[in-house]
Amino acid sequence: MGLPANRRILTWFEGKWHEGNVPIMGSADHGTWLGTLVFDGARWFDGVTPDLDRHCARMNNSAAALGLNPPMSTEDIVALAEDGCAQFDGETALYIRPMAWSTQGGPGVVDPDPESTRFALAIEEIAMPSEDRTATLTTTSFVRPTLASATVNAKAACLYPNNQRMLKEAQAKGFSNVIACDQLGNVAETATSNIWMVKDGVYFTPIPNGCFLNGITRQRVLKLLRDNGEKAFETVLTLDDFRAADEIFMTGNLSKVQAAVKFEDRELEQGPKTRLARKMYFDWAYA
């Protein structure tokens, strides 16, 4: 999804709000050249900010996972985000992105100095994708890393080049996204979000195994489905399971619930169970 160049961006940095995409990192900041930056994403739309507190808390948890000091309490980040959202026109949906990074190295230079952690919060206009905005999926030659080889327990910027090359591979094949596997060949997620399938009216999603984030929207949808009497299971899934699925959809902060209408050469419907999951999410968000 391309973003309009003239979208409004509001950035909180060094104690005040700034208009636009302001510079926040120096050329010698540890986060700039050694990749110690974490972030999270939340949404404002139609006056609601679903799970904003959980997204802000996860940003602090990600900072701690990279050896940084959480820069601000979760409650203060939530209050700051709400203040920033109130400064927009209330018409266009917003993407709320708290970020933290280190400016100095520790004793080994490559390791970060926890005391040097800095913080910024960017809020930008990004419309909510409609129900009709769907994805097409393919496989990828790249895999998700493990905790032994990468900081997969954090929403860390340094992880995203691996996802980006998955997307480039998909686009070269004429698809919009991929189904990515773990190092054992089991399905993990897409390059941008958690993944689900429906078979014979039952929901399935990969069980978190430490190689991908157990997404906040994923957790919310799973709870809503179960609370409303739907059969929804976390389990080990293979690519062949998805090849035989009746429906496939994704959950993530940017789009919330998005259907996939093609996997490899197989066309799929945006089926009733996908629409139900989406409806349950937005009904909960607006309640």
* Predicted confidence (pLDDT) per residue in 246-269, tens digit: 999 999 999 999 999 999 999 999
Q: Determine the pLDDT at residue 180.
A: 98
**Which three-class secondary structure string do you get for 68-120?**
CCCCCCHHHHHHHHHHHHCCCCCCCCEEEEEEEEECCECCCCCCECHHHEEEE
Return the SS3 of 270: coil
Query: What integer pLDDT is reported at residue 5 of this predicted model?
Result: 72
Whether 86 has a pLDDT exceeding 80, the answer reads: yes
Three-state DSSP state, 3: coil
Q: Which of 160, 146, 142, 163 is nearest to 211 (CA)?
A: 146
The pTM score is 0.95
**Dihedral pair phi/psi, residue 125, rounded to 5°:** -75, 115
- Residue 1, pLDDT score: 56
Strand 94-102 relative to strand 117-125, pairing? antiparallel
Name all domains of the chain by residue range, CATH numbers in brackets.
9-125 (3.30.470.10), 135-286 (3.20.10.10)
What's the pLDDT band for 27 if we cut at 50, 70, 90? Answer: very high
Calpha distance 131→181 (Å, rounded): 26
Confidence of residue 30 (pLDDT cuts 50, 70, 90): very high
**Lookup: tokens for 169:** 């591979």
CA distances from 258 to 83, 134, 158, 173, 239 (A): 29, 6, 25, 21, 19
Helix axes 52-65, 74-85, angle to 10 degrees: 130
- The whole-number average pLDDT for the span 128-151 is 96
d(CA 239, CA 225): 23
Q: Which residues pair with 99 in a beta bridge?
A: 39, 120
The pLDDT value given to residue 6? 78
> For residue 2, what pLDDT is reported?
65
The string of pLDDT tens digits covering residues 59-81 is 999 999 999 999 999 999 999 99
The DSSP string of 143-190 is: E---TTTS-TTS-BGGGHHHHHHHHHHHHHTT-SEEEEE-TTS-EEEE
Can you state the percent helix, strand and coil of the chain, rounding each to 5? 30, 30, 40
Measured at the CA of 92, the angle between CA 91 and CA 96, to 5 degrees, comes to 125
SS3 assignment, position 13: strand
Helix H, strand E, coil C: the string for 237-255 is CCHHHHHCCCEEEEEECCC
Q: pLDDT tens across 166-221, in order?
A: 999 999 999 999 999 999 999 999 999 999 999 999 999 999 999 999 999 999 99
